[in-house]
A = this chain, B = another copy of it.
């Protein structure tokens, strides 16, 4: 156990370092100070996951009728908008990788192999929420392509999302593994939490900056991001035949790692390198997004916090020169009000909590290696 905790401390999340919005690399990928083996291990895990889960996922999507199939194939990147085949880039498969890694950590390789269908179910749920979130948020780009609703209309995207949720639960209902039923119970409970989280998110975005507390945003982020990562790990534990306490510990691990991920993602949304994120610098600030570093900064009660509140109270200026200056001012205000430092410290704290949860269920650090690598991967990512 001691060695385990030491190793995890050694692998504490590397969050983007202090710097300005302009031209600075946001993250710590190939130029990280720590060893890269964790990243390499995660990359290998994700690749193996894709190889195992994609056929199951693809077969499920191909089983959909007519337009539902077309829209889902497009969303997953397996088809172009005109129906021609595409190489496919169906996301990084972090959630199914967590299912398989958790199953393997608690039950060995056989448990991992048995959980492939459940891993596909979790990925289907994730993608159902993406399809619907993009409609609600009017987001026009996803994985560097136009979102499904911009191509197939709101109706197509809503119905394809509905169908993917049903398909996810169908995979579990048709899985004879004894863990499939409790996994379905967890996954459906998780969907309810995801919905509540997304609803709170849209509600918070509509409120004035001074009407949003940091606690509310943390609870929302846990529901919207942490819940499904936790559920993925818990389902993996179920497929390993784990008892209730271990399943709960794995859920806690995923939730805390998910919150750490969201904190880093929010830091990247402000300080990320546009060349790596594919989004303009300070995109979240331009959108007046009440991300975690921003709400932490707003709550600081300092002159910088007041300046940020004043900037957030006005719509984003459109003229190029003024816009760049405004982004710089907002970025610096968040930083001076301590938003970035808080987010980085909070991310490290959440990762420490995640490690504690993991250690409750997995005493052997060797077995936990895959989960650690994935947690490190999601919190080290810089785009």
Binding site for B on A (CB under 8 A): 64-68, 128-129, 132, 135-136, 154-156, 158-163, 165-167, 169-170, 172-174, 180-182, 184-185, 188-189, 191-193, 195-196, 198-200, 202-203
* Contact present for A68 and B158 (CB under 8 Å): no
Known: A158-B135, A162-B165. A185 touches B196 (CB 8 A): no
* Contact present for A195 and B132 (CB under 8 Å): no
Known: A188-B169, A199-B155, A202-B155. A65 touches B193 (CB 8 A): yes
* Contact present for A185 and B162 (CB under 8 Å): no
What residues on B are CB-neighbors of A172 within 8 Å? 173, 184
* Contact present for B159 and A198 (CB under 8 Å): yes
What residues on B are CB-neighbors of A195 within 8 Å? 68, 159-160, 162-163, 166
What residues on B are CB-neighbors of A169 within 8 Å? 169, 184, 188
* Contact present for B173 and A185 (CB under 8 Å): yes
Complex-state Cα separation, A36 to B173, whole angstroms: 42
What does DSSP make chain A's interface, helix, strand, loop or mixed? helix
| Contact residue among B154, B162, B180 (Cβ-Cβ distance under 8 Å from A191) | B162
Can you list 10 pairs linking A and B with CB atoms under 8 Å apart? A64-B192, A65-B192, A66-B196, A67-B199, A167-B188, A169-B188, A170-B184, A173-B185, A173-B188, A180-B181
Complex-state Cα separation, A181 to B182, whole angstroms: 11
Known: A65-B196, A196-B67. A163 touches B136 (CB 8 A): no
Complex-state Cα separation, A191 to B161, whole angstroms: 11
* Contact present for B156 and A199 (CB under 8 Å): yes
Complex-state Cα separation, A40 to B173, whole angstroms: 38
* Contact present for A173 and B184 (CB under 8 Å): yes
What residues on B are CB-neighbors of A159 within 8 Å? 132, 136, 195-196, 198-199
Complex-state Cα separation, A166 to B124, whole angstroms: 13
What residues on B are CB-neighbors of A154 within 8 Å? 136
